[in-house]
Copies of this chain bind each other. A is one copy, B any other.
């Protein structure tokens, strides 16, 4: 989590430098363009054209394309890291199973609220220092989730016949697929999707007695 304070110093949260409205708008447009055209195929000239600005006007606000990418990836990673760190902390009176269910729901919420930057994050391939650093942070998240699944298996709450690391891949593969098809103005609100994901993942689609009684 990157936390800075502004000039007046009253606890603004998590940002690099001192972005004003203009930088936020540039970042939003950059993320949209990176997702649409691909990061490598997008130039600062494309971004300038998209915003109706000159290139010098953009460079007045941001250092370059890679800085924009880094800020976008941090936006997604900070939220996901916070959710996973919370779930990873063993807490009095909660089981690993409960914390796993909670982090699945929370991940759905983060993906919906930060869809553009998470989309970008999930497409990162490690083609630069910034991308490699993001992959490193993703790996930390994946490792914590796999541990949480293993803990829930050890508790006896989850079936033990599928390797925990594979369960974790599939579970969050399903969650992450949201970025490809979810539309905020579509048929499903966040709670409906979160309910569906947890129902499918934990209780399964087949009509079991237990699934029915939940």
Contacts and interface: CB of A to CB of B under 8 A. Distances in A.
Interface of A: 36-41, 97, 122-123, 125, 127, 156-159, 161-163, 165-167, 169-174, 176-178, 180-181, 187-188, 192-193, 195-197, 199-212
A205 B159 contact: yes
Contacts of A125: 36
A188 B193 CA distance: 29
Given A37-B40, A177-B169, A162 B208 contact: no
A153 to B, nearest CB: 9
Contacts of A197: 170
B206 A157 contact: yes
A206 B200 contact: no
- The 3 A-B residue pairs whose C-beta atoms are closest, nearest first, are A173-B177, A204-B204, A38-B38
Given A158-B205, A177-B174, A167 B210 contact: no
Contacts of A123: 123
A196 B206 CA distance: 15
25 contacts: A40-B40, A156-B207, A157-B206, A157-B207, A158-B205, A159-B211, A162-B195, A162-B199, A162-B205, A163-B187, A163-B188, A166-B187, A170-B174, A170-B196, A171-B174, A173-B173, A173-B181, A174-B177, A203-B204, A204-B208, A204-B211, A206-B210, A208-B210, A209-B209, A210-B210
Nearest to A40: B41
Contact of A171 (B180, B192, B200): B200
Given A156-B207, A209-B209, A169 B195 contact: no
B178 A166 contact: no
A201 B210 contact: no
Given A38-B41, A41-B41, 6 more contacts: A122-B180, A159-B199, A161-B199, A163-B192, A169-B181, A176-B177
Contacts of A201: 200, 204-205
Contacts of A171: 174, 200, 205
